[in-house]
Amino acid sequence: MRYVPPFEVIKRSVEISTSKGQLIATATYEDLTQMIRLLLLGVDVDENWYLDTYPDVARAIQEGAAKSARQHFVDHGYFEGRLPFAVAVDDNWYQEEYPDVSESIKKGGEISSQAHFMRDGYKEGRLPFPV
């Protein structure tokens, strides 16, 4: 990540109110996605990896429907559950943290922690390594 927009910029997209002594932030879906896009501008996108991994995006760029892998990720890819770059999964930690994956690997239903994360784990909100 190379850039993070200031909180004040993000805050402009929400309505702040108070309820029972707590601040409540309300935003339309459109405003929420715009806030996320602002944050995504700071994410590094591995253009080559993205286009190799998502050939439909490469075709869209060739056809002029998208400007770049980066632009596609920010505008659409993130919201479609696509990754911006290859994520290295900590195999031991992943299997310890997610015993269902470990069991599936042992039974031959899953190839590896890496394969699981890339296909399902990311979209399920699983972490690839301890944070």
Mean pLDDT of all residues in 110-116: 95
Place 3 in a pLDDT band, splitting at 50, 70 and 90: confident
User: How far apart (Å, rounded) are the C-alpha atoms in residues 97 and 127?
Assistant: 9
Domain borders along the chain are 1-42, 44-86, 91-124
Residue 125, Cβ neighbours under 10 Å: how many? 6
Contact 71, 31 (CB under 8 A): no
Q: Which residue has the higher pLDDT, 67 or 1?
A: 67
Residues 17-59: pLDDT tens digits? 999 999 999 999 999 999 999 999 999 999 999 999 999 999 9
- What is the percentage of the chain residues whose pLDDT exceeds 70? 99
pLDDT score at 80: 96
Residue 85, Cβ neighbours under 10 Å: how many? 15
Q: Please name the residue that has the structure tokens 């399920």.
A: 124
Write a three-state SS string for the chain.
CCCCCCHHHHHCCCEEEEECCEEEEECCHHHHHHHHHHHHCCCCCCHHHHHHHCHHHHHHHHCCCCCCHHHHHHHHHHHHCCCCCCCCCCHHHHHHHCHHHHHHHHCCCCCCHHHHHHHHHHHHCCCCCCC
Mean pLDDT of all residues in 10-17: 89
Per the prediction, the chain carries an average pLDDT of 94
Place 60 in a pLDDT band, splitting at 50, 70 and 90: very high
In this structure, the dihedral spanned by the alpha carbons of residues 108, 109, 114 and 118, taken in order and rounded to 10 degrees, is 160
pTM given for the model: 0.85
Mean pLDDT of all residues in 73-96: 97
Is residue 2's pLDDT more than 80?
Answer: no
Is residue 1's pLDDT more than 80?
Answer: no
